[in-house]
Amino acid sequence: MDLQATRNIRVMWFANFFISASMTMVLPFISLYIDTLGNFSTAYVQKWSGWIFAITFVSAFLVAPIWGRIGDLYGRKKVLIISAFGMGICIFLMGFATTVWQLFLLRLLMGVFTGFIPLSQAFIATQTPKHIAGRVLGTLQTGSITGSLMGPLIGGVLADMIGFAATFNWTSIAIFISAFLVFFTTEYKIESTTSGKTKYSSKEVIQHIFRNPVLLTILLISTLIQIAHFSIQPILSLYVSEIHGPENLAFFAGIAFSAAGVGNLMMSRNWGKLGDQYGHVKILIILLFLAGIVYLPGGFVTEMWQLVLVRFALGITIGGIIPVRIAYIRQEAPFAMQGEVLGYNTSLRFLGNVIGPVMGGLIAGYFGFTAVFVLTSAILILSGVILLVAMTKKAHYAKESY
C-alpha cells in the first residue's frame, strides 16, 4: 500500500474512534435517561427504550443506499463530512430534550445522517487491494472498536458525574472532531475503470446482486445478524440492574458494553487475515455458529462477572463478521458500484437495528431477559445455516457448469 492510503487509514481510524466512542457513550443509559423524563413504569421504559433506540435506524435504512450512490457519483469524503456534522448536531440537541417524544424525533432525524462508519469502510475499501482487504478493514475496525470500548466507560462516568443531559452535549464534540479529521484525507481509487463501466444504474446493481446467490445471502443475513446483535443492546442496562443492583448502574452497564469491545478489539484484524487466507465466506460461517453458541449462556447468568465473560466471548466472535463481510463484497462487486452495494448492505444492517431493539424490548417485557438471549442465539445459528446452504448450492452449480 502507498503512503497516501496508509495516511488515509490512520486518519479514518481516529475518525471512527471518535464517532464510535461518542455513539456508545450514550447507549448504556438511554433507558435510564428516558426514566428521568417522567414517572414511568418499567414496562413503559423497556418498550420506549426499544423504539427510541430503533427509530434512528428506520430513517437510516431508507437513506443508506442513497448515500452510497451519492458517494459513488460525487465522492465519499463529502458524504462522510455531512454525516458527521448531522449526527453531532442531533446528539447535542438531545441533551435539551424534556419529553420522550422530543428524544424520539431527534433520534429519527439523526438516522438520516447515521452511517459514518460503514461509509468510511467503503471509502477505505476502494483504496485497498482485494487480497488484503480483510486485514485492512479489520485494522480500520479496531478504531471503532476501541471507541466502543472506551465510550461506554466514559459515558457511564460522565453520566454519574454531570448527569445524562450534559453527557449528550459533551458527546457531540467528539463527533465534530471526526468531521474535522475527514478534511485531512485524500479520496482516490486504486482501480482503473477505463477498461470497464464507470457507472451503473440502480437496476444493474440489483441485477448483479441477484445473479450472485452468496452475495445476496450475505446481504440478507446482515439483517439477521444485526437483529441478534442489537436485541439486548437498549435494555442491557436494565439487565445489569437486575443482576447487580442500582449502585453505580451507569458505570457497570458501561463495563458490560465494553466487555464485548475488548474481545472484538483483540480478534477483528486476525479474523480479517484468516478470511483473506482461507476464504471470507468460510470464516463468516464459522463466526456465526460460534457467536450463536457463546451468546446463549448470557440469559442464565447470576453474577456480574459471568455476564462480562459472556459479552467478552461474544466480542471475540462478532469481531470478524463486519470486516470479513465487507471484504467479500469488495471482491464480488465491480468498483463503480461498490458504494451502492455497500449501501444496500448498510441499509439491511439498519433494518436489523430497527427490528432487534424493538423485538428485544417486547420479548423482555413479556417473557423476561433470558428469552432474549435464547432467541438471539437461535438467530445467529440460523444465519450460519442459511449461509452454509447458499455456499454449498453455489459450489454445486459451479461444478455442474463444467
In the numeric block, which cell numbers belong to residue 183? 478534511
User: Is residue 193 in a domain?
Assistant: no
- Closest by alpha carbon to 345, among 357, 360, 332? 332
Q: What is the pLDDT of residue 10?
A: 86
Helix (H) or strand (E) holding 379: helix 369-400
Q: What is the pLDDT of residue 189?
A: 66
- Closest by alpha carbon to 294, among 324, 264, 268? 264
Alpha-carbon distance of 333 to 320, in angstroms, equals 20
Query: What is the tally of structural domains in the chain?
Result: 1
Non-local CB neighbours of 211 within 8 Å, separated by 6+ positions: none
Neighbour count for residue 73 (Cβ, 10 Å): 11
Domain residue limits at 237? 3-186+203-400
User: Is residue 73 in a domain?
Assistant: yes
User: Is residue 332 in a domain?
Assistant: yes
Q: What pTM was computed for the model?
A: 0.73
- H helix runs in 27-163, sequence order: 30-35, 42-74, 76-94, 100-113, 116-125, 133-162
Cα 200 to Cα 73, 196, 203, 245, distances in angstroms: 10, 11, 8, 55
User: Is residue 194 in a domain?
Assistant: no
User: Is residue 192 in a domain?
Assistant: no
For the chain (402 residues), the mean pLDDT of every run of 10, in chain order, is: 77 87 74 81 78 79 81 82 90 88 90 82 78 78 76 76 82 86 79 59 85 88 85 79 78 78 81 86 92 90 88 86 82 76 82 82 86 92 92 59 35
The answer to whether 244 and 252 have CB atoms below 8 angstroms apart is: yes
Q: What is the pLDDT of residue 191?
A: 56
Torsion of CA 154, 160, 166, 170, to 10 degrees: -10
Please count the CA atoms within 13 angstroms of the CA of 288 that sit on its side-chain side.
Answer: 27
Q: What is the pLDDT of residue 184?
A: 84
User: Is residue 196 in a domain?
Assistant: no
- H helix runs in 75-115, sequence order: 76-94, 100-113
Q: What is the pLDDT of residue 398?
A: 41
The answer to whether 119 and 181 have CB atoms below 8 angstroms apart is: no
User: Is residue 90 in a domain?
Assistant: yes
Q: Mark 111-127 as b/e (b = at least 16 C-beta within 10 Å).
A: bbbbbbbbbbbbbbbbb
User: Is residue 197 in a domain?
Assistant: no
CATH of the domain at 323: 1.20.1250.20
- Closest by alpha carbon to 376, among 272, 260, 269? 260
